[in-house]
Chains A and B, each alone.
Chain A
Amino acid sequence: MDLIRQLAGETWLVLTTVAGVIPWLILYVLLILLCYFIWRQISRLFRPRSDFGSLKTVTFGDESAVTSDFAASVMSLVLIFLLWGAFTGSKLVPSFLHAPGPFTGDGTFTYISEGPDGAMDEGNVTVRVFPFGTKAEVPVVDPGPGFAKDDALVVAAYRSELLKAQDNDEVTEDAGAKVVSVNGVAIEPEGPAVDVGFASVNMTAKGTLNVTPDKGWQMEKIWLPAPEDVWARFVEISRDGFRNSTLAEHLGYSLFRVIVGFLLGAVIGIPLGYAMGLSDWFRGWFDPIVEFMRPVPPLALIPLVIIWAGIGEVGKIVLLFLAALWIMAIAARAGVSGVRIAKVHAAYSLGASKPQILRHVIIPNSLPEIFTGARVAMGVCWGTVVAAELVAAEKGAGMMIMTASKFQNTDIVIMGIILIGGIGFSIDLLMRWAERVMVPWKGKA
């Protein structure tokens, strides 16, 4: 019962979060449509419609008529880059596109202090907000008249600072004075914050003022660094390396593990799949094992593999081998089962022997399935290697981002993510190319 109540609470939380995102999602979709209409108008001007795809009148629902629009892909990437730049104040993005940044510079507000005798006096506060990572001097201010003397405060952007407003006053807090309003708005301990234009001021339980300069819409560097920072870090790491290894070593080790693990998985998995597709006995023997292991994500095996094989290369390669093995076995089995019986019959009637049928009919016929499986397996292996390196490794793409995150080097984390995504995508492109070259008949039977 408790569990259900907890889950209901979580669900509510998720739903409200999602509801908060929906307006942005709608905005994004509108932006996509806007780009579409603008681009259509532009391309109409320059390109007469004559290619075959556009001569088709029924395209909606005709899968073959839907191809990936290159312009849309370019625009989508440019938009992501612009958003990234706009919300990090990147120099690569024109400044009129920048989201409002955090307040920096000097600002002032006033407070009124009430003495124990009921006397009131006004004090001015000058706040100097400096960009995070630089230094600033405390502004020099004249204490001014009255018992509440003027104050000065320095705060880093994105941070907040307590203001001991009365420490320099003639009647201090200990003497019974307390701040009753800020910029003419009443303020009380743990009450609502007062907006003073460049910052918000609230009062702690003890009656001290807390000044939080406006953060604007831009992201702090340790949350999301600007594209040029990531690039600079990339240049630096490809020159100097990271943690005693070059960037090529980190990426090379990850790739090496994937390729060796995948190849081992394919070398064992494909014959296993063929055996399962061709023999009752082997299918019966391995079906329970394969069907049981298939839904176990390779990540769940990491602890066991570390216990058994340690954190060295062997452990990781065993893990990737297991990740690829079942996928390849199932793909090969599907490839065998997918052979049209007429082809096998035809081959027998032409006098082919069993080994010849395996070699000339069953294997070529299963290649499309095997390639599909290999693409999936490569993707899974790449994801698994990164995850395994997150847990334990001395070199590798995953280790790089994990270590960087411990030191809050978000730029390295983002660089790592981009590299991991790029390499994964390149692997898939390579596999697709190999598939086109080696299985030109795919989907044409």
Chain B
Amino acid sequence: MTISFKEAVFLYCMKQIQNERSIYSLYHLFQGKKSSQTIQDAHLFRLDPFFQSYPQITREEMDHIIGVLHVNGYLHSISSEYYYLTEKGEKIVQSQNLISLPPKYLQGWKYHQITSVFWERLSLLVQVYSNLIYQNKGFIPIHNKPENLAWIKNYIKMQTGKRFELANDLYTELINCFQQDENIDPAVLTLRLTGHNKIGLTEGQAAEQLQMDSFHYHLEFLNILHYMIYISTNQYSKFPLLSGIIGNKPQTVPLTLSTEKTLRLLEKGFNTNEIARIRKLKESTIEDHIVEIALQVNDFDLRKYVSFEMEQRILTVTRETSAKKLSQIREKVPEANYFEIRLVLARNGGRPWN
């Protein structure tokens, strides 16, 4: 019995979280829930590329996937929500076709706010330019959110070149962009585009055309969008049209609303305890917020909450034992509390967040 691509991806993620989190933490991850817990977990377990990469997921589907993996002997259950990989499961994750997980350019967390905007604007742009050069006025825009239509009007107005040349320039930028990594298959994207005499394919149709598993296609599509965002924003002088699509949309990730409020109070000099009282929240919730701030705000000073010395000791333990479980770390540094450990991990946990 072979498992589907989707199941394999979830198996990979299960491996990443070990048995430290419930399966629903993955549900929140794929859905893209903006809670402190989900955001921290994403980074702690290096699953941030998958953040909000499958917002359509339902709890039922999550249960189903885990059920299939369990029944077929890839997962062993500890309780109804906690599982770890069996030997069979480990083998699958290490096998050839999963080595590429996560997809090379997938940056769910980093780009989740601009992914769909980028796609909608790009496809509109291609459609509008294509119809422009063929002088075809009567077409129905493929994405009709008023804000996108307003944006495109403005965008075209701001371009100084001739209209024919603009389409040409866009073509050149796209070709140049795609050619920077030969492992990228541009068809994943171009099949979906709509032009003056061709309507783009839906996600399902494109997957079928490329004979790809539909979830595999889904991730590859996000992958190529993130690739394009990455290439064009890093070399914006070379890709003025593409990077212009993103414009000055915020690329840095904002804090969740509740955390934002806590940060403002922190800046006014209130301490954790006081903020909890003012906001009528549990102190542990405020601590969650502070961990999220440590994760997001690079110049946020941790010294108020954890000493330099303590930070170093926690870091040494994590490095030497590759312990990731909070309880394991705590065993080795008993004088640290969980809050301190989480703060240190948040600040130093994995790759740079942004």
- Pair from one complex: no
